[in-house]
Amino acid sequence: MKVLLLGSGGREHALYWKLRKSQRVSDLRAFPGNGGFPEDSLIAGLNLSDLPGLRRHVEQERYDLVVVGPEDPLVNGISDALSSVCPVFGPRAAAARLEGSKAFSKDFMERHGIPTAASRVFEAIGPALEYCEGLEPPIVIKADGLAQGKGVVVAMDRQEAEQALRDRLERDRFGEAGRRVVIEEFLPGEEASVFAICDGVRALPLLASQDHKRAFDGDQGPNTGGMGAYLPVPMMDAAVMQTVQEQVLDRAVAGMQADGHEYRGLLYAGLMIHEGRVRVVEFNVRFGDPETQALLPLLNEDLGELAQTAASGRFAPNRTLNFHPGAALVVVLAADGYPGSYKKGIELKNIDSAESDIIFFHAGTRREGGRILSTGGRILGLTALGSGLRNARERAYARLEKVVAPGTFYRKDIGVKALQ
């Protein structure tokens, strides 16, 4: 099977790493990739926003499967453009609105009985401010559209809420994505991420993981795209996962089918768990970053087979997913200043590993001669596997201390809450 993988982040490097192990995949190409990809696998000259050009390339090269990593192309209709010439692992645009529009997603959940926070949608600053006056902080304010994981504010007082609303509705800080906002109740509890591979009818869940969104230790600082993740998550026991399956995943796939949009690809449920109750914070329509970098090494399945079946077939009625025992933890190395302005071109040294249970997944990197240089705020993720979470955590941080990367930082507390 000849496969094209689209994307350039740490998530895509992990997908590439896993797809290379597939018995189904004989030829794996990627665009645009990053410094961690083998150079002979990378394609030049494509443009993810040029859907006719991508379609011509896929048709001419006779790919058997296209795997789409990031959300923007999915929301913009890449699966619609390519699926008539090649199966695509990733939902069509109508289904991708689950991530592309928070307002659409909230309405979808309410219509199909998926538990979530109460919310209201606003496009004008006056009514939005008036509504907030009647709420007790914390108040959750979300940009409606895609904002690279940075469009959500949990305002601890009304002054912070007002600033967040004005940033979006008046100051146009998030452009089109922020010209409509969702204001919703704050949900107490612990966050968890559950991904499921969907064939249009069924959703096969992977192990639950927990992301760390804030930039600094102790969940301090601004929201980021994610600074680390781990699994398994102690609170996500069999009973909670069964609730997630029945009340979230099954209802989402059935709801999409009822609305006339088969959901094929990866469905990501961002959850809040409180006293055994499960509610959806948000849906995403692709693998999460950095959870994927911890999750895929523990997946004891052929990802090529799973993606191909999800894109173009049906899973057997009794199909379940298998996982390796143990734990996995990923820590993200970022450039100083991230998620604000940061320096590029930082040289990275000692980021190779001969150990099968220590893996460096590149995110914002490029090769220049024999050197690896940074290109993004999140530069790479180091994933460590272990017999348990404590072991995986110790191994990850011991190896990170040996990385030479001046002008970078990483959180020191990934996984600490689970151990406590």
CATH number of the structural domain spanning residue 379: 3.30.470.20
The domain total for the chain is 3
Residue 109 counted as domain residue: no
Give CA–CA dist 212/396, Å, rounded: 16
Which pLDDT tens digit goes with each residue over 169-189? 888 888 888 889 999 999 999
- Strand partners of residue 194: 269
Which pLDDT tens digit goes with each residue over 31-84? 999 999 999 999 999 999 999 999 999 999 999 999 999 999 999 999 999 999
7 lies in the same domain as 26:
yes
176 lies in the same domain as 198:
no
Residue 304 counted as domain residue: yes
128 lies in the same domain as 84:
no
Residue 299 counted as domain residue: yes
344 lies in the same domain as 289:
yes
CATH number of the structural domain spanning residue 69: 3.40.50.20
Cβ proximity of 273 and 96 under 8 Å: no
pLDDT, residue 172, reads 83
pLDDT, residue 153, reads 86
Please report, to the nearest 10 degrees, the dihedral formed by the alpha carbons of residues 61, 66, 72, 74 taken in order: 120
Instruction: Indicate the pLDDT class of residue 112, thresholds 50, 70 and 90.
Output: very high
pLDDT, residue 276, reads 85
- Range of weakest confidence among 49-58, 85-94, 156-165, 359-368: 156-165
Among 129, 161, 185, residue at a domain's last position = 185
Q: pTM for the complete prediction?
A: 0.95
The sign of the dihedral angle between the CA atoms of 225, 268, 385, 16 is: negative
pLDDT, residue 365, reads 98
pLDDT, residue 178, reads 85
Is residue 290 scored above 80 in pLDDT?
yes
Among 185, 215, 235, residue at a domain's last position = 185
- Domain carrying residue 390: 190-419
Residue 108 counted as domain residue: no
Which pLDDT tens digit goes with each residue over 14-37? 999 999 999 999 999 999 999 999
255 lies in the same domain as 175:
no
Give CA–CA dist 327/330, Å, rounded: 10
Residue 103 counted as domain residue: no
pLDDT, residue 223, reads 85
344 lies in the same domain as 287:
yes
Instruction: Indicate the pLDDT class of residue 233, thresholds 50, 70 and 90.
Output: very high
Residue 261 counted as domain residue: yes
Among 72, 90, 108, residue at a domain's last position = 90
pLDDT, residue 4, reads 98
What residues contact 346, with CB distance under 8 A and at least 6 apart? Answer: 335, 373, 374, 379, 405, 406, 407, 408
200 lies in the same domain as 171:
no
Residue 39 counted as domain residue: yes
CA atoms within 13 A on the CB side of 100: 15
343 lies in the same domain as 375:
yes
- Strand partners of residue 272: 191, 279
- What is the per-residue DSSP string for 64-104? SEEEE-SHHHHHTTHHHHHTTTS-EES--HHHHHHHH-HHH
415 lies in the same domain as 345:
yes
CATH number of the structural domain spanning residue 174: 3.30.1490.20
Is residue 237 scored above 80 in pLDDT?
yes
pLDDT, residue 115, reads 97
Residue 86 counted as domain residue: yes
Instruction: Indicate the pLDDT class of residue 353, thresholds 50, 70 and 90.
Output: confident
Is residue 375 scored above 80 in pLDDT?
yes
